[in-house]
């Protein structure tokens, strides 16, 4: 695991803490859920973009010509 530190506005932390109190979950658990879903969505988006654009990000050259 890698540690991530961040400064957040007080109103965001207040909502987070309220949610934690209501659900019994901790800040870390909620943060992992939220960022995990965000990362999953971004990975899906980038996969679709590469497929539609016809590129393989692991290849050195694009699969097909792209307009400039």
**Residue keyed to tokens 């400039």:** 68
Residue 62 contacts residue 55 (beta carbons within 8 Å):
yes
> What are 28-65's pLDDT values in tens digits?
999 999 999 999 999 999 999 999 998 887 876 655 66
pLDDT band for 25, please (50, 70, 90 cuts).
very high
Which of 31, 33, 41, 26 lies closest to 3, judged by CA? 31
**Cut 0.75: pTM above it:** no
Quote the strand ranges of the chain, DSSP E.
none
pLDDT level of residue 11 (50, 70, 90 thresholds): very high
């Amino acid at each position: 695991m890698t540690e991530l530190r961040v400064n957040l506005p007080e109103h965001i932390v207040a909502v987070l803490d309220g949610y934690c109190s209501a659900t019994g979950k901790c800040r870390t658990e909620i943060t992992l859920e939220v960022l995990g879903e965000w990362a999953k969505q971004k990975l899906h988006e980038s996969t679709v973009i590469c497929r539609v654009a016809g590129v393989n990000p692991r290849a050195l050259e694009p699969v097909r010509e792209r307009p400039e």
